């Protein structure tokens, strides 16, 4: 159950190792309560975040994707987040043309010391995704999804849900 | 062959609907300008005034065929693998199917498939199970197009080989001839839609067929095509010239009614997965890429040489002289570079006495 | 001297110093002119130029790296060449560009829809019409009804980068503003999100994964090592599902963001008529809006996603 209420949704977070990942950690150490829908993937830098990671997550069943890195001028590698900013802004403006709500994707900057900001970012983004609800299913008949039933029959119902919506 | 019957054009949807009651029906429909084979939908118009872009290959040899599905069971305590559950796709019964509106060339494509997937040496159950349940209602061509060359490779615009029923377009409707028992059954199930074709209609049908045959351009003699291609085997300059317009995409092979190459991959998602058989294409660089990184067919010239040789030299050599090209012309008509396989054959024939340097 | 004679003359002079020249030859009917390689003087007799020369020959340049190549370009093709020069995929010194002013190329699919023809034996162009002889029947249609969509809105009919310009430059058909107005884009923009999602699902369902779009694209030059074919990392499964097919189009579009010159080869190559150029047009508009940049104009410019500014004028600062 999500803290935001209702069924937990699948949100993927790509976090820069040098800032936001620490920020998320700081939020945890500071015992700031956060929704639990987010699954975090640690990245060396937002400059490593290919916009295709976001798109791949969205077509594969993620309901929202969050990218968070170092504030401009604070990149551990000087300029990774500047490249990321351009790419991610272009991506954000592509989504509506695909029929995907642009709010399903968000990028922001959180430093390692900003635990409170991290809490706000996650809470607000998760709330927004819950307002939008789950992503529309792309392939209800996807072969690899059908086989999940096999797992269910064998008492493995706690497996992760099918990759492309139920 | 049973006597000719006649059906008026506007009754065709009713016939399709009757067949669709107990069968899966594939029919040609227009989407975004392209005529393609799709499962029949009563709400959509069936269009067959032109040869479809896609062939009916999909009906018997789907682009993706799940061979089996698996689930790796883990011990929840230790995380160790505790066995694999497998579900074999052959155990699921396949419904009867009808392919409607294919042309004689496209239907004949499956004769090539039969030679490969259902012969003395091998009987592929994934193929044969679908093949046996599928009937073909073929439409004879009344006007061959610029890219048609069925007559080069032993076909004709009204060739009934491989079909279960053959339609011939006449004024106001179609002459219908059942070729096999299966075809007869399909007609009899909706017998009230058909009338006996009178003498006049039968004559008209014969005239339509004769006219179509008369429109075909003169055909070359392909008896020596194998040796002619053999002569050009080492002549890479020839193949480079012939493929100057090729972009190495897979379109020609995917639209081809006789291209039967496939790939087998395991696609897993966590503990679950499927083993898939999917179409493969010899025009792609990955097709012949070896695990070592070596590629025996590194350029489009090498790959086109294989495609043409396979259809006109290797396959005939292996299977009693039968060319594995049905002459539908899709590879010519839809090629982004307008590569013309006929030009390759003719040029090879022209130079059959010339040794490669 | 006719334009074609002038072109042949220019190639004849340049050929001794070149490995080959990329051109178009007569095809199986008068509406098709497939690309071919001119290696010897006698190959020149097959050379044609006209509205049936649709292929963008720049798609071949990547294969021909290391050779000294001549290429005949239309205005739009030249933009692809400029982009390849920018990205240092081709070397300007080993390239000789023959520029042809262009009044538009045919869309054969439109012709097939407009006229009931079997075999176009002869084609003539005069006074804005195209006259096609098929069998013993001659029919004609207005050229503007059968030109490729891109040509109706073309504002780069003359190459910007060339060694030889053949004939006189032609006036752009429309202004830059008119070029931006695109009915297909407006239709997509007029849909709501659900409709657009359904639009792509329907269209992508038809895709065959033949990759003609990718391989016809002059800027998709990783084609043999494309991540769509990669098993490790496993970006795409072999399953012919909407998910995989659509994902590939997203890959194609994102990899062309800020680079695509809208030559339209991807959409033209698609055998089943998927309007894939829409995504690229949209991204081009985004790039224009954000970075005031148009691809394939200036060989010395840097594509906008290969660079950055510390202060971005058009990207709003993130609050939370």
* Cβ–Cβ gap B339/C269 under 8 Å: no
Map tokens 């503990």 to a residue: B271
Tell me the residues of chain C between 58 and 117 that have a Cβ less than 8 Å away from chain B: 59-60, 63, 109, 113
Query: What residues of A are in contact with residue B63 (Cβ under 8 Å)?
Result: none
Q: pLDDT grade, residue A143 (50/70/90)?
A: low
Burial class (CB in 10 A: 0-12, 13-18, 19+), C95: buried
Query: Which has the closest alpha carbon to C93: C83, C105, C101, C85?
Result: C85
pLDDT in the model for residue C223? 79
pLDDT in the model for residue C320? 84
Facing C242 at nearest CB: one of A91, A97, A139 = A139
3-state secondary structure B226-275: HHHHHHCCCCHHHHHHHCCCCCCCCHHHHHCCCCCCEEEEEEEECCEEEE
Q: Report the topology of domain A11-135.
A: Rossmann fold (3.40.50)
Residues C288 and C231 in one domain: yes
pLDDT in the model for residue B91? 85
Token code pair at residue C75: 């205005």
Range of the domain at B57: 5-350
Facing B36 at nearest CB: one of C206, C237, C239 = C206
The answer to whether B223 contacts chain C (CB < 8 Å) is no
pLDDT in the model for residue B2? 55
pLDDT in the model for residue C228? 92
Q: Is B357 within a domain? A: no
Q: What percent of chain A has pLDDT over 90?
A: 76
Facing C211 at nearest CB: one of B34, B250, B342 = B250
Model pLDDT for residues C291-318, shown as the tens digit of each residue:
999 999 999 999 999 999 999 999 999 8
Model pLDDT for residues B98-148, shown as the tens digit of each residue:
999 999 999 999 999 999 999 999 999 999 999 999 999 999 999 999 999
Q: pLDDT grade, residue B198 (50/70/90)?
A: very high
Is the model's pLDDT at A156 over the cut of 80?
no
pLDDT in the model for residue C292? 96
Q: What is the average pLDDT score of chain A?
A: 87
pLDDT in the model for residue A162? 38
Q: What are the strands, taking DSSP E only, across chain C?
A: 20-25, 35-38, 47-48, 69-73, 95-99, 120-126, 129-134, 137-142, 164-165
* Cβ–Cβ gap C305/A86 under 8 Å: yes
Q: Assess whether the previous peptide bond of C233 is cis (omega < 30° from 0).
A: yes
pLDDT in the model for residue A2? 61
**Number of domains within chain B:** 1
Q: What is the average pLDDT score of chain B?
A: 94
Integer Cα distance of C195 and C41 in angstroms: 55
The answer to whether A116 contacts chain C (CB < 8 Å) is no
Q: Hey, which chains touch C, using 3+ CB pairs under 8 Å?
A: A, B
pLDDT in the model for residue C126? 87
pLDDT in the model for residue A148? 55
Integer Cα distance of B21 and A86 in angstroms: 55
Element (H, E) at B170: strand B165-170
Residues C72 and C129 in one domain: no
Q: pLDDT grade, residue A4 (50/70/90)?
A: low
**Chain C nearest C-alpha distance from B346 (Å):** 12
Backbone phi, psi, residue A66, to 5°: -120, 130
* Cβ–Cβ gap C310/A73 under 8 Å: yes
Residue boundaries of the structural domains of chain A: 11-135, 137-166
The answer to whether A60 contacts chain C (CB < 8 Å) is yes
What is the mean pLDDT of the segment spanning B321-337? 97
Tell me the residues of chain A between 134 and 163 that have a Cβ less than 8 Å away from chain C: 136, 138-139, 141-144
The answer to whether C75 contacts chain A (CB < 8 Å) is no
Cα pseudo-dihedral A111, A116, A122, A126, rounded to 10 = -160
Is the model's pLDDT at B28 over the cut of 50?
yes
Model pLDDT for residues B170-180, shown as the tens digit of each residue:
999 999 999 99
pLDDT in the model for residue A158? 39
ipTM score: 0.94
Q: What percent of chain B has pLDDT over 90?
A: 91
Range of the domain at C123: 108-146
Q: pLDDT grade, residue A140 (50/70/90)?
A: low
Which residues are paired to C131 by β-bridges? C124, C140
Is the model's pLDDT at A155 over the cut of 60?
no
* Integer CA distances (angstroms), C77 to B40, C98, C160, C296, in order: 42, 11, 10, 9
pLDDT in the model for residue C305? 96
Contacts of B82 (CB under 8 A, 6+ apart): B73, B74, B75
Is the model's pLDDT at A166 over the cut of 70?
no
Model pLDDT for residues B239-248, shown as the tens digit of each residue:
999 999 999 9
C315-320: long-range contacts at Cβ-Cβ below 8 A with a sequence spacing of 24 or more?
C315/A85, C315/A86, C315/A89, C315/C290, C318/A107, C318/A108, C318/A109, C320/A108, C320/A117, C320/A120, C320/A121, C320/A124
Query: What residues of B are in contact with residue C221 (Cβ under 8 Å)?
Result: none
What one-character-per-residue DSSP string does A63-110 give?
Answer: SEEEEEEPPTT--TTSSHHHHHHHHHHHHHHHHHHHT--GGGEEEEE-
What is the mean pLDDT of the segment spanning B269-279? 92
**Number of domains within chain C:** 3
pLDDT in the model for residue A165? 32
What is the mean pLDDT of the segment spanning A95-118? 97
Residues C308 and C275 in one domain: yes
Q: Is B256 within a domain? A: yes
Query: Which has the closest alpha carbon to C136: C149, C153, C122, C151?
Result: C122
Query: Which has the closest alpha carbon to A38: A11, A18, A69?
Result: A11
Residues C170 and C26 in one domain: yes
What is the mean pLDDT of the segment spanning B281-296? 95
Is the model's pLDDT at A66 over the cut of 80?
yes
- Residue of chain A whose alpha carbon sits nearest to that of B75: A156
pLDDT in the model for residue A136? 86
Q: pLDDT grade, residue C127 (50/70/90)?
A: confident
Integer Cα distance of A49 and B136 in angstroms: 51
Q: Are B255 and B331 in contact (CB under 8 A)?
A: yes
Element (H, E) at C204: helix C193-205
């Amino acid at each position: 159950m999500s803290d935001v209420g209702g069924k937990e949704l699948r949100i993927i977070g790509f976090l820069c190792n040098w800032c936001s990942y620490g920020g998320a950690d700081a939020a945890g150490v500071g015992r700031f309560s956060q929704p639990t829908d987010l699954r975090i993937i640690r990245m060396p830098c937002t400059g490593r975040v290919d916009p295709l990671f976001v798109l791949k997550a969205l077509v594969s069943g993620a309901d929202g994707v969050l990218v968070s890195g170092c504030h401009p001028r604070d990149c551990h590698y000087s300029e990774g987040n500047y490249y990321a900013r351009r790419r991610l802004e272009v991506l954000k403006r592509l989504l509506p043309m695909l029929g995907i709500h642009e709010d399903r994707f968000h990028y922001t900057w959180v430093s390692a010391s900003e635990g409170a900001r991290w809490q706000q970012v996650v809470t607000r983004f998760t709330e927004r995704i819950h307002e939008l609800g789950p992503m529309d299913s792309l392939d209800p008949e996807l072969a690899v999804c059908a086989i999940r039933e096999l797992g269910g029959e064998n008492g493995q119902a706690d497996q992760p849900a099918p990759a492309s919506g139920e | 062959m049973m006597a000719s019957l006649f059906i008026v054009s506007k009754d065709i949807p009713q016939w399709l609907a009757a067949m669709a009651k107990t069968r899966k029906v594939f029919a040609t429909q227009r989407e975004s300008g392209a005529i393609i084979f799709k499962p029949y939908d009563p709400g959509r118009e069936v269009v067959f005034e032109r040869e479809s872009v896609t062939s009916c290959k999909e009906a018997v040899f789907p682009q993706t065929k799940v061979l089996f599905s698996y689930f790796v069971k883990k011990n929840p305590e230790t995380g160790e693998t505790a066995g694999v559950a497998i579900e074999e796709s052959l155990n699921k019964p396949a419904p009867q199917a009808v392919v409607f509106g294919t042309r004689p060339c496209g239907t004949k494509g499956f004769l090539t498939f039969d030679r490969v997937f259902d012969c003395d040496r091998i009987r592929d159950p994934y193929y044969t199970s679908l093949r046996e349940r599928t009937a073909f209602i073929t439409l004879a061509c009344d006007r061959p197009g610029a890219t048609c060359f069925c007559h080069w490779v032993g076909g004709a615009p009204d060739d009934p080989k491989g079909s279960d029923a053959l339609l011939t377009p006449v004024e106001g409707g179609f002459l219908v001839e059942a070729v096999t028992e299966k075809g007869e059954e399909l007609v009899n199930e909706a017998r009230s839609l058909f009338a006996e074709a009178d003498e006049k209609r039968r004559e008209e049908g014969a005239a339509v067929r004769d006219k179509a045959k008369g429109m075909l351009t003169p055909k070359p003699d392909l008896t020596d095509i194998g040796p002619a291609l053999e002569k050009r085997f080492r002549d890479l300059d020839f193949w480079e010239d012939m493929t100057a317009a090729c972009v190495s995409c897979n379109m020609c092979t995917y639209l081809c009614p006789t291209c039967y190459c496939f790939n087998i991959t395991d696609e897993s998602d966590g503990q679950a997965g499927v083993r898939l058989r999917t179409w493969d294409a010899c025009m792609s660089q990955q097709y012949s890429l070896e695990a070592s990184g070596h590629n025996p067919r590194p350029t489009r010239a090498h790959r086109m040489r294989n495609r043409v040789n396979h259809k006109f030299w290797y396959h005939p050599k292996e299977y009693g002289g039968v060319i594995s090209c049905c002459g539908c012309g899709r590879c010519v008509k839809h090629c982004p570079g307008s590569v013309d396989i006929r030009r390759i054959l003719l040029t090879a024939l022209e130079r059959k006495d010339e040794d490669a340097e | 001297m006719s334009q074609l004679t002038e072109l042949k003359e220019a190639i004849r002079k340049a050929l001794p110093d070149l490995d080959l020249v990329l051109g178009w030859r007569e095809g199986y009917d008068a509406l098709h002119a497939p690309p071919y390689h001119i290696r010897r003087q006698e190959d020149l007799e097959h050379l044609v130029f006209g509205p049936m020369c649709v292929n963008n020959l720049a798609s071949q340049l990547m294969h021909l790296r290391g050779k000294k190549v001549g290429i005949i370009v239309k205005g739009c093709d030249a933009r692809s060449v400029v982009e390849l020069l920018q990205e240092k995929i081709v070397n300007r010194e080993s390239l000789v560009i023959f520029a042809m002013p262009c009044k538009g190329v045919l869309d054969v699919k439109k012709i097939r829809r407009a006229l009931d023809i079997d075999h176009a034996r002869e084609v003539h162009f005069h006074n804005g019409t195209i006259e096609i002889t098929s069998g013993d029947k001659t029919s004609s249609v207005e050229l503007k009804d059968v030109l490729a969509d891109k040509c109706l809105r073309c504002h780069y009919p003359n190459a910007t980068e060339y060694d030889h310009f053949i004939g006189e430059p032609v006036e752009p058909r429309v202004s830059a503003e008119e070029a931006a107005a695109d009915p297909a884009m407006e239709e997509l923009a007029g849909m709501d999100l659900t409709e657009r999602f359904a639009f792509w699902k329907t269209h992508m369902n038809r895709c065959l994964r033949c990759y003609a779009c990718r391989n016809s694209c002059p800027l998709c030059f990783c084609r043999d090592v494309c991540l769509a074919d990669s098993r490790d990392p496993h970006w795409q499964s072999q399953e012919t599902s909407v998910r995989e097919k659509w994902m590939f189009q997203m890959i194609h579009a994102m990899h062309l963001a800020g680079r695509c010159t809208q030559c339209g080869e991807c959409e033209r190559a698609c055998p089943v008529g998927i309007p894939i150029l829409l995504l690229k047009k949209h991204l081009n508009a985004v790039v224009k809006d954000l970075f005031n940049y148009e691809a394939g104009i200036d060989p010395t410019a840097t594509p906008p996603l290969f660079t950055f500014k510390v202060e971005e004028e058009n990207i709003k600062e993130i609050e939370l």
